[in-house]
Structure 1
Amino acid sequence: MVMIRVRSRDGLERVTVDNPHMTVSELNTQIEKQLRVPVSKQTLSRNQNLLLAKTPDDILRFTDMSNPQTLISSLGVSHGSMIYLAYEGERTVAGRAVNKAGSFGRKMTMDDLIAKQMRVSRQEKPHCESVSFDRDAASSFQHYVNESLAFAVKRGGFMYGTVSVDGKVDVNFIYEPPQQGTEENLILMRNPDEENLVEAIGLGLGMRKVGFIFTQTIGQNKKDYTLSNSEILQAAELHGQSGLKEWVTALVKLEVNEDGGADVHFEAFQMSDMCVRLFKEGWFETDIKGDADPKISRMKKDVVVGVKDTKEVDNDFFLVVVKIMDHQGPLSSTFPIENRNTPVTMRALKNHLDRTKSFPFVKRISDFHLLLLVAKYLDISSDVPALAECVQAQTTVPEGYQLLIESMASA
């Protein structure tokens, strides 16, 4: 049994045939029988531009399937193949009348056809089995936005860790790039040189970038959405850039508890495959007007949601919930963190080394944020990965590196 897909001005339909080597004439007969389009009214082609033809003369130019004795297999038509059908007149499709204006009817444009394929529905299962946060890294991030920023402005960072073969993501440190946060928006001022250092450290630690974490403000909590339209755009862009199917988007916010107080709450999502695809292909309206509903993402062209063609999609359709866990990772998170209100200086390095001098040296430097400060004075291609590898394996740090770091602290 062979299934052939037939796309016409009415959308996508299917024809089932027994013989994969039948002639075009026999296929015409099956289309008449199964789709109720008379053979005399049919024009078939493997060229999708047939559906854009506006006049009978235009249609007659498509001759690749015009010979009734040609075997369909010689045209590359086999199980699952797509062919295109133009026809005159009217017919009933799936129990409903299809009313076409004019003898050849209103032809669907390619945009119409593409929109019919862009069906937005909820993705039931994430590619990421779960996400587990290192307790110290998560605590340091949420403590800063709670105590220092009071959840008044947004804050974000990139999560680094590992992905297991079964799709479990472990987040072991959070890198906070230069940024500017307001109550509604988060602008990441990416520093390629610094991010190259972060990647080199991650490589030495056996870790990679696995997601994006950001906060919502108290003002946002009063609004009725999970993620705003601007947050959807930012999250979809970063997810798309990552090339990682298990990429996680994490949200941190304050929620009112049963006693009327406020608790810090973590949520984790993946952006749906369709969301990332729509963003990559430029379907999203990225110029968000001031009066736009923040819980709705607007498209440049119609997509199908349920049975409705629309340019407006509820943001929740794009979110796939990910289970959250926690763990104690291999790194500490006590060293001052980059790109916050207070610059990190060598004084911080000295204080940290003095405070931890009872530990082995490799243990004293087992903190991503310390490694990032030190890495700015090392060779990115050799020294940075080598030092990070010592931390990963918890092996003795070569004396040259130890003396260099101690001299930095004493400068």
Structure 2
Amino acid sequence: MLIRIRSRDGLERLQIDNPNITIAQLKTLIESQLNVPTHNQFLSTNQSLLLAKTSTDISTFTDMSNPQTLITSLGIGHGSIVYLSYEGERVIKGPKIHPAGFEGRKMTMDDLIAKQMRITRQENPHCEMVSFDRDTANGFQHYVNESLAFAVKRGGFMYGNVSDEGKVEVDFIYEPPQQGNEDSLVFIRDFEEEKLVEAIALGLGMRKVGFIFTQTVLQTNKKEYTLSNKEILQAAEFQGESDLKEWVTVMVKLEVNEEGGADVHFEAFQMSDLCVKLFKDGWFVTEIGEGDDPKLSKMNKDVVVGGKDTREVDNDFFLVVVKIFDHQGPLSSTFPVENRNTVITMRTLKNHLDRTKNLPFVKRISDFHLLLLLARSLDVNTDVPALAGCVHAQATIPEGYQLIIESMAATA
């Protein structure tokens, strides 16, 4: 039978004559066929092994640690994928290739550039960590869990600050108009609305720091990739649009826990510098076919991965893992979120102000989503940053602005 071995070098085939072998015998076959010494091998059926960065992280993957375990007892059979992490370098077996790679044909400059384009992993992110305001993160995941049941994709842009040490803090999420289905997400960019968002962020002393999206239950059930080829393209596009080197991409998904229940997981990444460069330079095939493997990104020209020429690259090569923490941010997150199924009106504003009438007025409007509603009736260049600036400083709201806001609510 044939099984597939997936490592940092991509996907390779392993021929097994007897399916009833132990893990120790499997390692011997990997050494003989793939040139990885048995003492350097670490195996798992969990793809997250390939994202582990230290020996301590790798040691937590114990499902294939017993050398006497039969591989059939782990459900490994013909066509199965086993994940391999190893230290050091190796010579990858394969057919002898003409030195030019073009059977003697004269190489063009494009050919030469393509032959020199080696896809390697980026070991360290540019940001030290990403920290979420707890209420903001909970509000986002609660909506996609309770209202969308993780059946369609949802996304948004994250706003906050970046410290001198490279720590990204996310304090609110703006969700643009969008259309999502089981495996794709399209933002319908409303640039007038985005101007208001940027004006609010400016007054709050914040900026756009990343992109957040959900994976659907259909995607996570496949368990064959971390990010799909479509998600890699979208994340690379947004990161490439930003001038922020600490830009973060966050993926939210639902996973089955050990008790059979479901837990929501947040995972954070940066697209590697090489990934963003390749996207900007047009190396990626951006039209995804129905039969394309979602765990592989297609290239318009040959690239070198693990010593082999290919036009298909494992998506994990482009991901740089970022640590996630949480904090209590300066804003509340109780006002309804824009561009969801609920229509937000001045009646919504009135109800919110009535519920919070015992608080100082600045506290009552210290919510990004409420400020966005107000901004639609204010001057984007002066009033919006000024009002957001009062929220940022937690200063007394000028009487004029307070009267305007209360009169808006009174029209409900």
The amino acid that maps onto 1:234 is Q
Partner residue of 1:125? 124
RMSD, aligned CA: 1.5
| Partner Cα separation in structure 1 for residue 255 and residue 176 of structure 2 | 26
Structure exhibiting the larger radius of gyration computed from Cα positions: 1
Q: Is it true that 1:324 corresponds to 2:324 in the alignment?
A: yes
C-alpha deviation, 1:100, in angstroms: 8.0
C-alpha deviation, 1:115, in angstroms: 1.3
Partner residue of 1:356? 356
The amino acid that maps onto 2:278 is L
| Partner Cα separation in structure 2 for residue 269 and residue 200 of structure 1 | 27
Partner residue of 2:21? none
The amino acid that maps onto 2:353 is L
Provide Cα deviations, 1:50-91, integer angstroms capped at 9, x if missing partner: xxxxxxxxxxxxxxxxxxxxxxxxxxxxxxxxxxxxxxxxxx
Contact map agreement 2:253 2:266 (CA 8 A) in 1: yes
Q: Is it true that 1:184 corresponds to 2:169 in the alignment?
A: no
C-alpha deviation, 1:117, in angstroms: 3.0
Provide Cα deviations, 1:10-66, integer angstroms capped at 9, x if missing partner: xxxxxxxxxxxxxxxxxxxxxxxxxxxxxxxxxxxxxxxxxxxxxxxxxxxxxxxxx
| Partner Cα separation in structure 1 for residue 182 and residue 388 of structure 2 | 37
* Secondary structure of 1:297 counterpart: strand
Is there any run of 5+ residues in structure 2 with no aligned partner, and where?
1-95
Contact map agreement 2:100 2:107 (CA 8 A) in 1: no
Partner residue of 1:209? 208
Is there any run of 5+ residues in structure 1 with no aligned partner, and where?
1-95
| Partner Cα separation in structure 1 for residue 115 and residue 203 of structure 2 | 47
Aligned length: 313
The amino acid that maps onto 1:389 is G
| Superposition pairs of residues 157-168 of structure 1, within 5 angstroms | 157-168=156-167
| Partner Cα separation in structure 1 for residue 127 and residue 113 of structure 2 | 29
Partner residue of 1:7? none
Partner residue of 2:142? 143
C-alpha deviation, 1:165, in angstroms: 1.1
Q: Which runs of 4+ in 1 moved over 4 A?
A: 96-101
C-alpha deviation, 1:106, in angstroms: 4.4
Closer/same/farther in 2, CA of residues 354 and 97 from structure 1, 3 Å limit: closer
* Secondary structure of 1:222 counterpart: helix
Partner residue of 2:303? 303
Q: Is it true that 1:402 corresponds to 2:402 in the alignment?
A: yes
Provide Cα deviations, 1:174-223, integer angstroms capped at 9, x if missing partner: 00000011001101001000000000000000000000000000000112
C-alpha deviation, 1:98, in angstroms: 7.6
TM-score normalised over the length of structure 2: 0.74
Partner residue of 1:254? 254
| Superposition pairs of residues 235-384 of structure 1, within 5 angstroms | 235-384=235-384
Using CA pairs below 8 Å that are at least 6 residues apart, which structure has the higher relative contact order? 2
* Secondary structure of 2:299 counterpart: strand
The amino acid that maps onto 1:184 is D
The amino acid that maps onto 2:341 is N
| Partner Cα separation in structure 2 for residue 255 and residue 204 of structure 1 | 38
Identity %: 76
Tell me which moved more, 357-366 or 109-118: 109-118
The amino acid that maps onto 1:373 is L
| Partner Cα separation in structure 1 for residue 99 and residue 398 of structure 2 | 80
Contact map agreement 2:158 2:172 (CA 8 A) in 1: yes
